[in-house]
Amino acid sequence: MTAPDAGRGIGNGDETGTFGLPRDTFRILHVSTGNVCRSPITERLTRHFLADRLGDPLWGGLIVESAGTWGHEGAPMEANAAAVLADFGADASGFVGRELLDEHVIRADLVLTATRDHRAQVISMGHSAGLRTFTLKEFTRLVRAIDPATLPPVEDGVVARARALVRAAAALRGWLLAPTAGADEVYDPYGAPLTFFRSVGDEIHQALEPVVTALTGVPTRA
């Protein structure tokens, strides 16, 4: 494990391990193509929404990061992606693009991809990733079907709740199919005008809201 992970993820607790992260953590990995548009937006919006629910920087052991299947290693996010984050009051600063590596998949407890092709690429890397890899919209659809009362209570910690949520979603996957072929896709806004980036940002926001609520047990603020 290398030091940059301390900057890409967030976590803290009473007993800390390497780089000050809690010993009991849950890693969420967002994956798109270049890691300059969709996955940076999804990563930073997830962090923003978690901070809103749980307080910053104590997120109960959740670590949120991203990478790209053809990632622009070391590149900043696209300016329009940063503008979308600003619309939501989320922080775009300090982002650096990454190419998806085996170690990212190995360490991830939940992989959320922009499209089905990305999901297939992650699963093809091996590492028993199939049961913990979903498209973002697929995971949202499955999470909506899970009774929150069947998950561990918030008092047991966010990590235990997150692990149970992934297991429950994996169990439902074969029973709750997408209504259309494109229903689980977040399309690439690369090179598109800001208006299209904003529509993608709205899609991601709508998909993340029930996921973050299920993870934390805390509903969105009115």
The whole-angstrom separation of Cα 12 and Cα 199 is: 34
Of 125-134, 188-197, 212-221, the range with the lowest mean pLDDT is 212-221
Confidence grade of residue 169 (pLDDT, cut at 50, 70, 90): very high
pLDDT of residue 19: 44
The whole-angstrom separation of Cα 1 and Cα 74 is: 18
pLDDT of residue 128: 93
Of 50-59, 151-160, 165-174, 188-197, the range with the lowest mean pLDDT is 50-59
Q: List, for residues 82-121, the tens digit of each pLDDT value.
A: 999 999 999 999 999 999 999 999 999 999 999 999 999 9
Strands, DSSP E only, in the chain? Answer: 26-32, 62-68, 110-113, 133-135
**What pTM did the predictor assign?**
0.89
Strands, DSSP E only, in 92-207? Answer: 110-113, 133-135
The whole-angstrom separation of Cα 30 and Cα 38 is: 9
The whole-angstrom separation of Cα 97 and Cα 76 is: 6
Q: List, for residues 1-21, the tens digit of each pLDDT value.
A: 233 333 344 432 333 444 444
Q: In what order do the strands lie in the sheet with 62-68?
A: 62-68, 26-32, 110-113, 133-135
